[in-house]
Amino acid sequence: MKLDTEMVDQTLSQIDAQAISDDHPLIPRLKTLFGDHTFFLDSSGLNIIEPVEGKPQTGAVVNVASWDDTEERNLVAHEPESTETTVQLGAKH
């Protein structure tokens, strides 16, 4: 799922991660591998947000690549793995 700027900000206020900017040189390669998403890096690796069925404005954090070293320098892609983490993407009340 591709997030707009407001949704990225809302997501980052709920999880400890960094968003990869759309102009980063790796984005074309990431899109080829995983599709058109907003990508987030955290201590577990590379993540995307997917909509949660039946819960409008809620996204699930899905891990698509994990770190293969303790220095967090090398990512290894794998089948998407759902996490238990969800974020609210709707308007704040």
Residue-level pLDDT at 73: 87
Q: Among 7-11, 28-32, 34-38, 52-56, name the one with the lowest average pLDDT.
A: 52-56
Alpha helices in 1-93, H assignment, sequence order: 5-12, 27-34
pLDDT tens for residues 42-93?
A: 999 999 999 999 998 999 999 999 999 888 889 999 999 999 999 999 765 4
4-8 CB contacts, 8 Å cutoff, 24+ apart: 7/38, 7/89, 8/38
Q: Tell me the three state secondary structure of residue 32.
A: helix
| Whole-number pLDDT of residue 92 | 56
Nearest-10 Cα torsion for 35, 84, 22, 66: -80
Alpha-carbon span 20 to 22, nearest angstrom? 7
Q: How many Å apart are CA 28 and CA 44, to the nearest integer?
A: 22
